[in-house]
Amino acid sequence: MDREEWMYKLPRVNNDMSFLGHMRKFVPTTKKHRLCLGRECTIYPSNSCKNKLLQEDNMVQSHLIHHGFVKDYTV
């Protein structure tokens, strides 16, 4: 399954295991990326925050599950 499919087409509600499985891979990847950049927090790539707010990794995951990804998100 490609990035577009799981980020935008899989259901986020009712703890869909496919979406959550992808999130379990996504969050460590974004953490690794932000650490390489020397950042302490991750930028929220959610629909409501539009890549403008910084937060800890666990909050980013929770927010993405609740609000979904911003359109055309790339790392």
Alpha-carbon distance 10 to 58, whole Å?
20
What is the chain's mean pLDDT, rounded? 84
Q: Where are the domains of the chain?
A: 3-67
Separation CA 50–CA 35 (nearest Å): 21
Between 64 and 16, whose confidence is greater?
A: 64
DSSP tag of 64: H
Residue 55 has which token pair? 């937060």
Show the beta-strand stretches assigned E in 1-75. Answer: 42-43, 54-55
Per-residue pLDDT tens for 29-63?
Answer: 988 998 999 998 888 788 777 777 888 888 888 88
Tokens 């409501």, located at residue: 48
Which of these ranges, 23-27, 45-49, 62-66, 69-73, has the smallest mean pLDDT?
45-49
pLDDT of residue 38: 93
- For the full predicted model, state whether its pTM sits above 0.85: no
